[in-house]
Chains A and B, each alone.
Chain A
Amino acid sequence: MSIAKPSLTALASVAAALVTLSAVLIFVVAPEDADQGFSQKIFYVHVPIALTAYACFGLGAWKAYRVLATRGERYDLESYTGVHVGTIFGVLTLVTGAIWAKASWGVWWTWSSNQLVLFLVLFLFYCAYFMLRFSVEPGSRRERISAVYALFGVALIPVSFFAIRLANDFIHPTVFTRDGPQMTGEMFFAFCVSWASITLLAYVMYRVELAGKRIDANLRELREALQT
């Protein structure tokens, strides 16, 4: 078990710096979008957050596969933490998406944004993941069941996305269209920095939470050993 404090602190500092830089770029440097105006700036945050959420779910699924392939307890913690951070970013995707919808079209929610609807479905799925986890006794049974469910989650992502696209044909005709913003060079740069900073932020959160969980587990073991 290595907490590797120095490198985590360094990473956190870099993340903080990058976030600050991207904030500057977004609000000061990047020009306003011709069509959508100031509200378009949410895009710099909303899309990277969504992409990061996907990445976290993917990480959780990869670690879940490792749980099944080996008998590693540590992979279970890593898978759980990946899913947890992914869910946090998933909620943030929904929140930033709602803000964007409100700012652009005056409604807090629209079913015509396929990505938003997908995240709603995923949010439900991964909330169920936590309910599952807390209903099963800790042990290798719980590890395996959680891992299988996490793997089903990533399979669900593309399948749900197709389903939502198909659904739009008959459920909610597209009222609000949103073309991908035409990005100038500065906008693209700001977007990339923002994406990098949010990804790094997510990674730092993942490492911090994982370290905390590992310490918890070790403490519990120690306490148990001391009691007997």
Chain B
Amino acid sequence: MGEPLLIRAAALEKRYGSRTVFRPVSFEVPGRGTLVVTGPNGSGKTTLLRMLVGLAAPTRGTLDVALDRGRVGYVGHEPILYRELTALENLDLFGRLYRVPERRERIGMLLERFGLWDVRGERVGTYSRGMTQRLALCRALLHDPELLVLDEPHSALDEDGAALLDAELASLAEARALVVATHEPARLEPLVTQRLALEHA
């Protein structure tokens, strides 16, 4: 039947007190494939993605992710970086925490691939939004995750950056699982293997 399931979600619900964020959703994601999550603002896309990586817990239902934390990469709305540190220092810290082998080489390769090599020694606080987002992608890919969870990754990028990201995603999608929440599902058309549309609760 193909891939073993990487993610299995059944009747997933999330409430904060009395506020329901989304209605029960169920889906399964195999080890290879791209799940695109769409929905209007406030429909719970971000919360769902945070649940997938473990930053939020479901109120009801079951969620099984067959990976431990170190195998999952996440890009959220915030860049998840230290503004007062340089790109190199940020990636070095996360590289240590994620036990990335051959850390320096990998950091150098990623910075170059995303066009940040020249500014690697500058504080992230001086970066533009697009550059910060690209660095966030470097951080998410640093440990070569098997599952990549991206929350509107194109949003801060300019055309060049978006093209870089699309190329990267295309090469990743062949051997990884991707879950991408987006307002522009058309960009991911060539990669999509599953769709999930969320509605307002």
List chain A positions with a Cβ less than 8 A from chain B. Answer: 71, 73, 137-140, 217, 220-221, 223-224, 228
Contact = CB atoms under 8 A, between A and B. Distances in A.
B59 A138 contact: no
Interface in B1-42: 15-20
A139 B17 contact: yes
Nearest to B20: A224
B197 interface: no
B196 interface: no
8 contacts: A138-B16, A138-B17, A139-B17, A140-B59, A217-B18, A221-B18, A223-B18, A228-B20
B57 A224 contact: no
A140 B201 contact: no
Nearest to B23: A228
Interface residues of B, number: 9
A138 B20 CA distance: 12
Secondary structure at the A interface, as helix, strand, loop or mixed, is: helix
Contacts of B17: 137-139, 220
B57 A228 contact: no
Contacts of B18: 138, 217, 220-221, 223-224
A220 B17 CA distance: 9
A228 B201 contact: yes
A71 B57 contact: yes
Given A139-B15, A224-B20, 18 more contacts: A71-B57, A73-B59, A137-B16, A137-B17, A138-B16, A138-B18, A139-B16, A140-B57, A140-B59, A217-B18, A220-B17, A220-B18, A221-B18, A223-B18, A224-B18, A224-B19, A228-B20, A228-B201
A71 B14 CA distance: 13
Contacts of A138: 16-19
Among A73, A137, A140, the one with the most B-chain Cβ atoms within 10 Å of its Cβ is A140
Contacts of B19: 138, 224
Closest 7 CB pairs of A and B: A138-B17, A220-B18, A139-B16, A140-B57, A224-B18, A138-B16, A137-B16
Contacts of A221: 18
A99 B15 CA distance: 47
Contacts of B15: 139
B23 to A, nearest CB: 9
Interface string B62-79: 000000000000000000
A73 B57 CA distance: 12
B199 to A, nearest CB: 10
Nearest to A144: B57
A228 B22 CA distance: 12
Contacts of A71: 57
Contacts of A223: 18
B61 to A, nearest CB: 12
